[in-house]
């Protein structure tokens, strides 16, 4: 795709020079090429990003090895050079029609920044927990994403924020450390979500929403399962409803390529699942109600939004299979042996398969009829 867009850009330059189009038209065409090019992920750009991530991992592990043969001042200098080279080199390449390699170099620069933070911690034996180091890294990466308008760096910042959440939580289980839940995460994700508009990063918005669902699930598991799970399910269902009832206005705000319902469904199922697990060994009626709500929710999701989105259908099928399995495990598990389990698993998979085949066929027929009309 990059080859095509750079060719078109050369053509536009030639047409402009030949007087075939005016300067305004040339700008509009260039902008259009640029915007559409961002949406396509070529094989080459994926490989470039993988190479950047491998290099990033190499930097971090090399620092962890604390190799004394290279003096630490040289190591610091090398990382500073990588930071400068990564960002500036990336900017030069991106402005010369190599956006994929340019973005990959940005990621290398951000990784070198994280590596340098770790190296300084090692040099001066700083025992301040990893969470503050990750927070600094996240802030630096977000700043770079903002100034360079970089989508991959925005995604990286969200991913580092996720790592921060994990480290803060699981370090938190050390004895004598604070037991406060890191609610700051919501604010960080909100800021990064806003940032993603500036950097035109749809993937970062998807990752941010999934991160929020993860956060809610962890919070529920940590503290008040019932309240948080209900809140998660209700808010997710509301998001789903808004996104399905007025898709255009909602997508104009969230700009998720019409995929907000998927997040709504994932959040809803996560919330209900937590409730089911909470009720599973204490409250039979609560469990029955939660299960019924889950199955009804899946059915409603398929009816309302299944036709438009294949992805949503598959999440619904997955949720359906999971639900059947959990309902079986909680209600029957104590009575039947292993053979019974396999039998029921076979029946569940059979039911799921029949349901999927019927729904897909029906939707296919509907689509065909619409195409004919």
Partner 1 sequence: MSAKRLIAAAFAVALLQIGFLGWMIAGRAAILRDGREIVLKVEPVDPRDLLRGDYVRLTYEISRIPAKLVANVPADGTTRDQQTIVVRLTKGDDGTWHPQTAWLGSPPQVAGPDAVDIAGTIKAGSSLGDGDSDATLWPDYGTERFYLPEGEGKAIEKDMRTRPFQVKIAVSKSGQAQIKALMDGAATLFEEPLY
Q: Which residues bind partner 1 (CB under 8 A)?
A: 60, 63-68, 72-73, 76, 80, 83-84, 86-88, 90-92, 94-96, 109, 113, 116-128, 130, 133, 140, 143-144, 147-149, 176-180
Instruction: Please tell me the distance from the alpha carbon of residue 265 to that of residue 317, in angstroms, as a whole number.
Output: 11
Secondary structure class of 92 (helix, strand, coil) = helix
Closest CA to 158 of 185, 131, 129: 185
Cβ neighbourhood burial of 70 (10 Å; 0-12, 13-18, 19+) = exposed
Instruction: Please tell me the distance from the alpha carbon of residue 239 to that of residue 259, in angstroms, as a whole number.
Output: 11
Contacting residues for 208 by C-beta, under 8 A, at least 6 apart: 158, 189, 192, 193, 196
Secondary structure class of 179 (helix, strand, coil) = coil
Closest CA to 92 of 80, 109, 75: 109
Mark out the alpha helices in 201-255 (DSSP H runs): 202-222, 225-245, 247-254
Closest CA to 296 of 237, 243, 209: 237
Instruction: Please tell me the distance from the alpha carbon of residue 299 to that of residue 295, in angstroms, as a whole number.
Output: 6
Question: Closer to partner 1 at the Cβ: 130 or 360?
Answer: 130
Closest CA to 91 of 81, 73, 103, 79: 103
Cβ neighbourhood burial of 157 (10 Å; 0-12, 13-18, 19+) = buried
For 29-76, the DSSP string reads HHHHHHHHHHH---HHHHHHHHHHHHHHHHHHHHHHHT-TTS-HHHHH
Evaluate whether 22 touches 64 at the Cβ level (below 8 Å). Answer: no
């Amino acid at each position: 795709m990059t080859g095509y867009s750079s060719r078109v850009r050369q053509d536009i330059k030639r047409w402009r020079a030949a007087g075939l189009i005016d300067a305004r038209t040339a700008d509009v065409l260039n902008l259009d090429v640029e915007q559409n090019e961002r949406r396509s992920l070529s094989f080459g750009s994926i490989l470039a990003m993988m190479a950047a991530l491998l290099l990033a991992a190499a930097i971090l592990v090399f620092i962890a090895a604390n190799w004394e043969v290279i003096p630490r001042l040289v190591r610091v200098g090398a990382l500073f050079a990588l930071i400068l080279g990564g960002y500036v080199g990336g900017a030069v390449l991106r402005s010369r029609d190599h956006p994929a390699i340019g973005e990959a170099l940005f990621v290398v620069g951000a990784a070198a920044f994280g590596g340098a933070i770790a190296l300084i911690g090692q040099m001066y034996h700083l025992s301040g927990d990893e969470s503050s180091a990750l927070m600094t890294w996240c802030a630096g990466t977000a700043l770079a994403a903002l100034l360079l308008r970089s989508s991959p760096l925005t995604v990286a910042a969200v991913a580092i924020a996720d790592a921060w959440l994990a480290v803060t939580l699981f370090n938190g289980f050390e004895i004598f450390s604070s037991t406060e839940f890191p609610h700051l995460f919501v604010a960080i994700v909100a800021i990064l979500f806003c940032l993603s508009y500036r950097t035109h990063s749809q993937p970062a918005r998807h990752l941010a929403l999934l991160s929020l669902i993860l956060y809610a699930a962890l919070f529920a598991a940590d503290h008040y399962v019932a309240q948080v799970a209900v809140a998660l399910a209700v808010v997710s269902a509301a998001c789903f409803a808004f996104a399905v009832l007025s898709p255009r206005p909602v997508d104009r705000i969230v700009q998720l390529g019409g995929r907000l319902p998927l997040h709504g469904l994932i959040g809803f199922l996560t919330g209900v699942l937590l409730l089911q697990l909470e009720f599973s060994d204490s409250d039979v009626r609560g469990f029955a109600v939660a299960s019924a709500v889950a199955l009804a929710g899946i059915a409603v999701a398929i009816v309302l939004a299944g036709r438009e989105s294949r992805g949503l259908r598959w999440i619904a099928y997955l949720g359906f299979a999971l639900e059947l399995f959990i309902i079986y495990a909680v209600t029957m598990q104590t009575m039947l042996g292993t053979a019974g389990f396999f039998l029921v698993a076979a029946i569940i998979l059979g039911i799921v398969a029949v349901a999927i085949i019927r729904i897909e066929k029906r939707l296919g027929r509907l689509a065909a009829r619409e195409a004919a009309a």
